[in-house]
A and B are shown apart, each in its own frame.
Chain A
Amino acid sequence: MAKITVDQALLASHDPASMNPLFINRVMDVVEQPKMNTLFASLQRMPKFALALAVIATLLAVSGTTYAAYQLWFKPNATVQQFGQNQEGRNEALVTFKNCQNQASTRYEVKSNASLTAPQVEQLLRARCEMDAINKWALSASPTTTEAPPMAYPGAFTVTKIDGTKVSLHNPTYDTTVTVTEKSIAIINGVPVAASSIKVGDLVTYVEHYTYNPGGGHPTSRTLLAIVTLQLPAEFYDTTMQNMVATRKACYGNPTESCIESGLIDVYPRNGENNMATVEPGDNFEVQGRIVKHDGNTVSLRASSGAVYTFTAPHDVIAKFNTENSAGYENTKIGVGDMLMILYTKKQGEDPKAIQPNQLRSVSLLIELISKQDPLKKY
């Protein structure tokens, strides 16, 4: 018999109580929703009156506990475990999730020009999870012939009028009318019901399926798949509000450093510079840090851990940006104290903190970005 490794023995010897419950719950939440897609597919094929009868029959037949089996998704939850200032002097939340499939991280930073409390961050992330759940369902419910996967409109609407099959929807930036067909359903609290269950005053989003000409361009037709009631106040679904929180993760290749998901301005390469052929192949690395020294082609950055990373570019990329490109960015100049993100390659065993010109893939300036209309502001 082959000998067992230490890793294999350790992985086999865990105490049954010591687990990663968050991960297990996420898998089992999906596994224990019996034949969700099949149910939906059959609901979709039913005429509206039959669907209404099926829903009534279902409601009559099932008890409160087994009713959950007909959930298309479960109510997501996000809980802020810690909230306080990080090394950048910004508020940061450490968050755990339940019934949320796509959370990108457990650390979320509140942007400097936003003021959100911990409960607001929770609501905002719950709204994000809810939209993710709707979009995931939309993908599974999409007709197989679709060219573009259906998605929920990113924002909340109030139902203002229902006139036969026409449902009028209002949002502060966009008013629209959707047409209910025999393929359309409503989803209330994650449960599929007849589209006629929607009423004036409901807070909703909608999912449409678009078809296009083979050559692309604008959609040639749109079909309403579902009107979905939303669970939280409208402002938390707003894209501007959603942009007030950014994900903070370990930097790729440099797990001791943290990197923020932020708006970026290209510093190098740009203006036709092509370094694809000159960059050495190797493992990819990412790091973000504030400039502590700029000496011609060589720039030093202090990253989140306090470590200093020094890169040497083929030319003085900062001076070049400041003279040739600054005008296109409201005369933004780059200097000591500004936050850069660099991507680079390294071979195994090489010092990841000293980057040579033939290892430098790109240099970008981090900016604050909540709304495209905002004046440009460095991170």
Chain B
Amino acid sequence: MSAMNESKVIQRILAGQPNAYVDLVKRYHVGLIIHCEQLVKDRDEAEDIAQEAFIRAYKNLKKFKPEQSRFSTWLYKIATNLALDYLRKQKRHVRTEDIELLAEATQPAFLEEEQKNAVRAAVAKLEPPEYKEVIEAYYWHGQSYTQIAQIMNKPVSTIGTYIRRAKAQLKGELLWLK
């Protein structure tokens, strides 16, 4: 989805087609759950917060000002505030100075179709093949480290290691990435 398409999706929703919202949920849900999990350190809570953020964003879509920010920035801000409220209720601290950077890091980029294809091809070539499995499961199927560990019958720490190593391989392959 391009930024222009996203703007059209929002216009369709505001024109009375709520089912168009599924395009935004599909695009952002995995990254938003990861962002919330980084804040609250609990996958189930993170999914609940991300869900609530999508619902609040939908209900307040008329207030969204596309000229001021991207939809994802606005959505992530809603989720961040919900996560901070949750942490306050739990009497837990969080370092707020890094939150915007964390949020930015988990927002999907707007890529050209050929760039997406290059990423998919690089993922398909990852070695050993377990790296491909974990990348697909985590970033594309929206599974948690714990779920992937259960499916692959590996310790959760191994999944983290696989993802780190796979990302290093991808950076070597796709030189336009940071």
Segment touching A, from B38-46, B62-70, B76-84: B38-46
Q: How far is the CA of A337 from the CA of B156 in the complex (A)?
A: 26
Q: How large is the interface on B (under 10, 10 to 19, 20 to 34, 35 or more residues)?
A: 35 or more
Q: How far is the CA of A281 from the CA of B55 in the complex (A)?
A: 35
Q: How far is the CA of A281 from the CA of B123 in the complex (A)?
A: 41
Residues of B within 8 A of A15 (CB): 120, 140
Q: Is the CB of B41 within 8 A of A252?
A: yes
Q: How far is the CA of A5 from the CA of B178 in the complex (A)?
A: 5
Residues of B within 8 A of A13 (CB): 111, 115-116, 119-120, 123, 140
Question: Can you list, as one digit per residue, whether each of B95-132 has a CB less than 8 Å from chain A (1) or not (0)?
Answer: 00000000001111111000110011001000000000
Q: How far is the CA of A30 from the CA of B55 in the complex (A)?
A: 7
Q: Which of A9, A23, A32 contacts B33 (CB 8 A)?
A: A23
Q: How far is the CA of A7 from the CA of B103 in the complex (A)?
A: 11
Q: Which 8 residue pairs of A and B lie closest in terms of their CB atoms, listed nearest first?
A: A20-B142, A11-B108, A3-B178, A12-B108, A13-B119, A14-B140, A8-B109, A10-B139
| Interface flag for B71 (CB, 8 Å) | no
Q: How far is the CA of A209 from the CA of B23 in the complex (A)?
A: 39
Write 16 A-B pairs (CB below 8 A) sorted by A numbering. A4-B177, A6-B170, A7-B167, A10-B123, A10-B140, A12-B116, A13-B119, A14-B139, A20-B141, A23-B29, A23-B47, A24-B25, A28-B19, A28-B25, A253-B41, A255-B43
Give A residues with C-beta under 8 Å from B: 3-16, 18-20, 23-24, 26-28, 30-32, 34, 101-102, 104-105, 249-250, 252-253, 255-256, 281, 283-284, 305
Residues of A within 8 A of B14 (CB): none
Q: Is the CB of B145 within 8 A of A32?
A: no
Residues of B within 8 A of A27 (CB): 21, 25, 29, 51, 54-55, 58
Closest to B116 in A: A13
Give B residues with C-beta under 8 Å from A: 18-19, 21-22, 25-26, 29-31, 33, 41-44, 47-48, 50-51, 54-55, 58, 92-93, 105-111, 115-116, 119-120, 123, 135-136, 139-143, 145-146, 149, 155-157, 167, 170-171, 174, 176-178
Q: Is the CB of B26 within 8 A of A5?
A: no
Q: How far is the CB of A110 from chain B (nearest CB, A)?
A: 19
* Contacts A13-B120, A28-B21, A31-B55 given; does A256 touch B110 at CB 8 Å: no
* Contacts A8-B105, A11-B31, A20-B143 given; does A31 touch B177 at CB 8 Å: no
Q: Which of A16, A32, A256, A284 contacts B92 (CB 8 A)?
A: A284
Q: Which of B41, B105, B115, B177 contacts A3 (CB 8 A)?
A: B177
Q: Is the CB of B108 within 8 A of A8?
A: yes
